[in-house]
Structure 1
Amino acid sequence: MFKPSVWLLFISFIVSTYGFGFRGFHYENPRELEEINSTSRHIILEKWILQPLNHFDVRDNRLWSMRYYESDEFYNGTGPILIMLGGEWTISRGFLRSGLMFDIGKAHGAMMYYTEHRYYGKSRPVRNTKPENLQFLNVDQALADIAYFIEKKKFELDKFNQSVIVFGGSYSGNMAAWSRLKYPHLIQGALASSAPIHAKADFFEYYEVVSDLLRKYDEQCRNDVKSAIDTVELLLSHNYGAKVLQKSFNLCDTPNISDTSDIGWIMNSIAEVNLKRKNCYYYLFINL
């Protein structure tokens, strides 16, 4: 038998402390190896490149500055160009100091870059993200950013025949695969790690992996988390329960239980919570 007061106190603490948010807005960069663990002390340069705001309208001459990191630590003048593609996060220098691309770059004398996705990190094409300014936040424009970047870098290096390999994980893994397909004359290879290239609305397999990982950590942990989420679903099946959630989570409005968007937002927000604790959700689902 669950104790609503216990788990509501728990989840309310999470929400008030860390806030609700879709993955696309609060998602942090993939776990990069800490620079302190790398043997490399080469200076990684932060640079900027002017990009067209709209790659597909020749009448639109607006530009914006895209950030990227550059490392020529191993570049021998003939090696390939390796590019880590940023996704919905703020880029850092980690991938240019350690990891698979770093090892490949070292083995083949490559020039290495890490590009930041438009609208994320410091790469902001617009001053604010009001709805009318989000029209240029789409994958077609982002892929064109990559192609434009490659063309400019090849011109700067005066190496027009260099092979280019792009790397990415999750969404940026999709970008790596799509950019190779869309711009085969510029990109000779792509490594798409954990790329969900098959789009689907109910991507339940993702949480099956999460469930398996929780079970490996502690079977009771997995059961407690499931019990709490089941309880939220139960409350969202009644108007009274929705009011309880609105008060406990300090929401602006009571969730509309007849609106799948409202329910989906609530459940996604809970599922994406990450307190960055070694413990199972910081012991807060204990004694449900």
Structure 2
Amino acid sequence: MRFAFLFAIFVITVQSGIAWRSFMRGRKNNGNLGEPNLTKAYVPIKEQWFTQNLDHSNPVEGRTWKQRYFVNSDFYKKDGPVFLMIGGEGPASSKWMIEGQMIEYAKQFGAMAFLLEHRYYGTSRPTLDLSVKNLVYLSSEQALADIAYFIEGMHLAYQIPHSAKWIVFGGSYSGSLAAWMRAKYPHLVHGAVSASGPLLAQIDFQQYYVIVENSLKTHSQACVDSIVAATKQVHIMLRHPIGQQGLAKLFNFCDPIDSGRTSQKDIANLYETLAGNFAEVVQYNRDNRNESSITIDTLCNIIIDEKKGIPVHRLAEVSNLLLRNNKEKCLDYKYNKMIEELRNISWNEQKLPGGRQWIYQTCTEFGFFQTSTARPYLFSETFPVEFFIQQCSDIFGPRFSHTLESGVERTNTIFGALDLSNVISNVVFVHGSIDPWHALGITKSSNPNAPAIYINGTAHCANVYPPSKDDLPELTKARKQIGQLINLWLQTTVYS
């Protein structure tokens, strides 16, 4: 249940239970990055609204809707640049207009700063509900067109000279949008900072758990070995009624395992959830948020501690720790319960805001399904790519299991996938070695006008958050490099 993505942010906004949290984690790994930690008390930034077209691809379609945005002009100097953070698969938080690395750059360069919420997320609601017929207007292409029209509109609304240079920022999915925005609208966007952006759409994202394993090994081989041992013990216990009862008690299941009512999909969902606990912590490891105080070291120290019992007992302690941290009363692994919730088309009744929308995008544009088949001994072989494709069909209808391949091919054809760095300028691609999403991004570039910065030891969108005294030297260096690149772009007049 999930394809860990992104919310990406900087152009970002942010988001990610156990079954529900990991579900979104998997599909984005959750589309959310979380909010920055504010170091001071601030007056909240007031939300603004911009009128958008519902369908940018059809000039005959006359319907419009209101898109939410925020603006901070405190640091703007006459004839200065404009920085735009692109929202991703979650509600836009005005905190990004107060603190965060983009705001640090805005202070440095005298820029006006905007944050634009992504259509269909947060309170930017183009349609009456989230039915399949209405979700047809949810796509990365429509989102890019929203940004283009927004930029044009802001010139008039805030009397920004048309000569002003716009730099867009994004992380995770919105990091992808930032790079694509520079490629598709170079006459509007002068430069782009793409943090942790996956640019290769891929149905079976096997590499994800390979990198999760490698990242866990940065703690110790014993950590990985203990997870393998715990997974084997879960296998054995699931085969017998007494073992099933023991698992239900150990892991605090919301529903007992019943051989007559527990399906293979339920078991797959259970394993995917347990694997997702480690994946989520790896993905957001030490990203400068209070809620991210649980790290790789935290989980590995538990899983290797033999004083805490046999491996399955330690695995249960890890699971229960994350349950408590996410204020979950029990571990809900039931597949049909998840599917029914994600079939809900009401804006106001979503258990996980943005969940249905992000899954729709993965089922139509990206894939990004984080499967276990490359590391079956670590997290089991029970959630292969077919498990996720079936979810597309079960949530949105049978045809969605047949059109995914063409949708992913279309995305890569339109946006250029990993070849983008060869044909673009004024873009920097930033990734961390701990972050599993770097496998689908550009981590090396031979184009000096579109360099890649690969930060050893950091995780998802680390450079987006406010600086911290605990930042690795490589991260501090990367932030400085990005600032130098922005300065260089602002000295040039190249538009392609």
What interval of TM-score do these two structures reach, taking the shorter chain for normalisation? Answer: 0.7 to 0.9
Matches within 5 A, 1:13-32: 14-15=18-19, 18=20, 21-23=23-25, 24=27, 27=30, 29-32=32-35
Compare 135-144 and 194-203 and name the one that shifted more.
194-203
Instruction: Show structure 2 runs of 5+ residues with no match.
Output: 1-16, 282-291, 312-496
Residue in 1 that maps onto 2:186? 184
Shift of 1:161: 1.1
Deviations 1:229-268 (A, max 9, x none): 5677x69xx9999xx7xx96759872369xxxx96x6665
Whether 1:34 aligns to 2:37 is yes
Distance between the aligned counterparts of 2:240 and 2:129, measured in 1?
38
Matches within 5 A, 1:248-259: 250=255, 254-255=263-264
TM-aligned CA distance change 1:69 to 1:211, over 3 Å: farther
Deviations 1:39-71 (A, max 9, x none): x84652311111111111112111111111111
Shift of 1:146: 0.6
Distance between the aligned counterparts of 2:51 and 2:69, measured in 1?
11
Matches within 5 A, 1:46-65: 46-65=47-66
Residue in 2 that maps onto 1:163? 165
Distance between the aligned counterparts of 1:144 and 1:217, measured in 2?
44
Residue in 2 that maps onto 1:70? 71
Residue in 1 that maps onto 2:327? none
Distance between the aligned counterparts of 1:156 and 1:76, measured in 2?
17
Check whether the contact 1:50–1:64 (CA below 8 A) recurs between aligned residues: yes
Shift of 1:120: 1.0
TM-aligned CA distance change 1:145 to 1:229, over 3 Å: farther
Shift of 1:93: 2.3
TM-aligned CA distance change 1:14 to 1:27, over 3 Å: closer
Distance between the aligned counterparts of 2:141 and 2:21, measured in 1?
31
Deviations 1:119-149 (A, max 9, x none): 1111121232122211011111011111011
Distance between the aligned counterparts of 2:197 and 2:148, measured in 1?
20
The letter of the residue matching 2:149 is Y
Shift of 1:19: 6.7
The letter of the residue matching 2:151 is I
The letter of the residue matching 1:166 is V
Shift of 1:198: 1.9
Compare 115-124 and 173-182 and name the one that shifted more.
115-124
Whether 1:202 aligns to 2:180 is no
Cα RMSD of the aligned pairs, angstroms, is 3.6
Residue in 1 that maps onto 2:142? 141
Distance between the aligned counterparts of 1:109 and 1:181, measured in 2?
25
Residue in 1 that maps onto 2:130? 129
TM-score of the aligned structures, taking structure 2 as reference length = 0.46
Residue in 2 that maps onto 1:4? none
TM-aligned CA distance change 1:52 to 1:280, over 3 Å: same
TM-aligned CA distance change 1:19 to 1:94, over 3 Å: closer
SS where residue 201 of structure 1 aligns? strand
TM-score of the aligned structures, taking structure 1 as reference length = 0.75
SS where residue 128 of structure 1 aligns? coil
- Number of aligned residue pairs: 261
TM-aligned CA distance change 1:72 to 1:215, over 3 Å: same
Whether 1:280 aligns to 2:308 is no
TM-aligned CA distance change 1:277 to 1:163, over 3 Å: closer
Deviations 1:184-243 (A, max 9, x none): 1000000101111122233333334433443445655444444455677x69xx9999xx
Distance between the aligned counterparts of 2:133 and 2:97, measured in 1?
35
TM-aligned CA distance change 1:107 to 1:203, over 3 Å: same
The letter of the residue matching 1:192 is S
The letter of the residue matching 1:116 is E
Shift of 1:177: 0.5
TM-aligned CA distance change 1:19 to 1:169, over 3 Å: closer
SS where residue 211 of structure 1 aligns? helix
Distance between the aligned counterparts of 1:26 and 1:46, measured in 2?
27
The letter of the residue matching 1:202 is D
Whether 1:89 aligns to 2:77 is no
Distance between the aligned counterparts of 2:171 and 2:28, measured in 1?
17
Check whether the contact 2:44–2:94 (CA below 8 A) recurs between aligned residues: no
TM-aligned CA distance change 1:249 to 1:203, over 3 Å: farther
Compare 114-123 and 268-277 and name the one that shifted more.
268-277
Check whether the contact 2:170–2:176 (CA below 8 A) recurs between aligned residues: yes
Distance between the aligned counterparts of 1:206 and 1:26, measured in 2?
10
Check whether the contact 1:28–1:90 (CA below 8 A) recurs between aligned residues: no
Q: Sequence identity, in percent? A: 33
